[in-house]
Amino acid sequence: MSRFFVTPEAVGETRIRLTNPDDLHHMLHVLRLRPGEEIDISDGVAWEYRCALRMLRPELAEAEILDRQAFAREPVLDVTLYQGIPRQGKMETIIQKGVELGVSRIVPVFTARSVAADSGRTEKKLLRWQRVADESVKQCRRGKIPEIGPMLAFADMAKQLDGFDCVLFPYEQEEKRTIKRVLRYLPSRPRSLCLIIGPEGGFSRREAETLEEAGALCVSLGKTILRTETAGPAALAMVMYELEME
Ligand code: SAM
């Protein structure tokens, strides 16, 4: 069943109004939906609804609420992935896998060795990356759409770390302390956590020191050096395995 997203304001007592032009086009011309057919709708905040289409026009659709439930697939743990901006084309993969694995937010970061310097077109890139997240979340049937952005300079990212219960910094030079050991022996279960992943060139020594001074826990993801587009999803999977799965 196809999933669509609305804002809570679009949800009435018994009906939901859909006005997003892309969604309406998709329903009419791609899915060729007809009144009476069922669709899934999420309000993006707390509830997901099983609905029956009652009216479908190019500018508006209305669906009758048949059933509603709290999000069934949203993780309890709020994870932010700070991703050193990689070369062209890799961010889409990182976003797609991160969304499937339950990330709440992905923040692209300009680091000393990230290839893409602060090259304009950031707005255009963020729009494209957000669209990847919007599509991925429908496929994996999550209730909330993870936020992509804003793009941050390394120093600005470092200032945000205080806001998390746990800050994990997978560092390619770390050979002793594994993410497994750190997660297994956390003093308490975090509600929020962030992962900081470097670009292809990794982190500079200065960046590593800055992160450790900011209280980030430097961890190894294992004996091999992972590609940047592997490291984020892999670390996320390990975190979800240890802290989210029953
Ligand atoms: N240029 C670095 C080098 O050759 O050592 C490799 C950087 S790696 C491609 C990109 C990022 O993935 C790293 O900055 C780190 O955040 C993460 N990463 C990759 N493998 C890792 C590992 N075994 N342990 C911890 N972090 C790792």
CA of 191 to the centre of ligand 1 (A): 26
CA of 202 to the centre of ligand 1 (A): 6
| Kind of pairing between the strands at 152-153 and 192-197 | unpaired
The type of residue at 242 is E
What residue owns the CA closest to ligand 1's atom 27? 172
pLDDT, position 77 = 97
pLDDT, position 115 = 77
For residue 223, give the ligand 1 atom closest to its CA: 23
Helices (DSSP H) in 26-153: which residue ranges? 90-101, 122-139
pLDDT, position 1 = 82
The type of residue at 21 is P
Which residues have C-beta atoms less than 6 Å from ligand 1? 170-172, 174, 197-198, 200-203, 220-222, 224-228, 231
Say what the alpha-carbon torsion angle 117, 120, 123, 129 is, to the nearest 10 degrees. Answer: -40
d(CA 240, CA 246): 10
For residue 173, give the ligand 1 atom closest to its CA: 5
Q: What letter does residue 163 receive in the DSSP assignment?
A: G
What residue owns the CA closest to ligand 1's atom 7? 202
- Among 83, 204, 225, the mutation site with the greatest number of ligand 1 atoms within 8 A of its Cβ is 225
pLDDT, position 246 = 86
Residue 153, C-beta contacts closer than 8 angstroms, at least 6 positions apart: 109, 110, 118
pTM for the whole structure? 0.93
pLDDT, position 72 = 87
Listed as ranges, residues in the chain with pLDDT below 70 are 116-120
pLDDT, position 116 = 62
Mean pLDDT (the chain) is 95
The type of residue at 89 is G
d(CA 28, CA 32): 5
For residue 227, give the ligand 1 atom closest to its CA: 9
Burial (CB count <10 Å: 0-12, 13-18, 19+), residue 111: buried
What residue owns the CA closest to ligand 1's atom 19? 226
For residue 222, give the ligand 1 atom closest to its CA: 23
